[in-house]
Amino acid sequence: MAPSPFRHVLPAITTPFTADDAVDHDFLGKHARWQLDQGCSGIIPLGSLGEGATLDEGEKVAILKTLVAAAGDHPVLPGIAALSTRQAVRLAQAAADAGCRGLMVLPAYVHKGGMHEARAHLDAVLRATDLPCMLYNNPPAYGVDFTPPFIADLAAAHANLVAVKESSGDARRVTAVKALVGDRLAVLVGMDDMLCEGVAAGATGWVAGLVNAFPAESVRLFELARDGQHAAARALYRWFLPLLRLDTVPEFVQLIKLVQQEVGQGNERVRLPRLPASGALREQALMVIREALAAMPEAAQ
């Protein structure tokens, strides 16, 4: 069996837009290639940070084709979410046809329902292709909590479920999942400001947001934490945390795109109903960004 593509540092890549609200495919490909050249192991498009809920099906498939062409030997691992299970299955199959090498499977948008409905949705998407899949657990964002027993049962039913992105905010979830499934599933950290805690608990990858602006620093931090270089990891983490915390507020998409703009790797355009950060939120974020850039430690350079 081929090694799982869900490992190491995987950018949850943002979706760039032109001034007329079209997807900027030229920049998208360059941005992905830059992150991969800085040491990231693959690309995850169409997630929450990628504004997947605002993209139509044709735009999503076009994005996947652009990224597969840009990524070369690196895997493209799109988020699969939709309003209906039927749409999600169709997107999963289109991703496989486009050359993607794995899927990040989300609950359905909007409808929460009972866990039996969530399970039926996941079963259908996981059966849609034979690609390796990662379950995305993010209760604050999606209103559905995939508990460790639920995850273990789902993994027992689907051999192609190979990983979990854990974004509950509870570091104990990593050990709880591992206690039930052992090495059957990889657990990846899904929140930027829990990287060191998650790796210490046994996580073997990081789906990251600020990596869109700081890929080399993100890779360095993950590898220090993974390799047990605790003092160096703590020093870099201390510098990085004010930036990483921008990933954990409701306006995280606007703020991460603002960081990209400040470091010359994109612009802050978002798609309505989002608007760029403004007022006190923007000023506070700019202060955090500029203080971090001014104080960048040698380990982050």
Q: What is the pLDDT of residue 299?
A: 56
185 close to 155: Cβ distance less than 8 angstroms: yes
Q: What is the pLDDT of residue 301?
A: 53
Q: What is the pLDDT of residue 192?
A: 98
Domain 8-229 grouped into CATH 3.30.565.10: no
Q: What is the pLDDT of residue 34?
A: 98
- In this prediction, the residues of the chain whose per-residue pLDDT falls under 50 are none
Sheet hosting strand 205-208, strand order edge to edge: 8-11, 205-208, 186-189, 161-166, 133-137, 103-105, 79-80
| Strand 186-189 with 161-166, pairing | parallel
Q: What is the pLDDT of residue 298?
A: 72
Q: What is the pLDDT of residue 144?
A: 92
Q: What is the pLDDT of residue 300?
A: 59
188, with CB counted inside 10 A (0-12, 13-18, 19+), is buried
Q: What are 250-274's pLDDT values in tens digits? A: 999 999 999 999 999 999 999 999 9
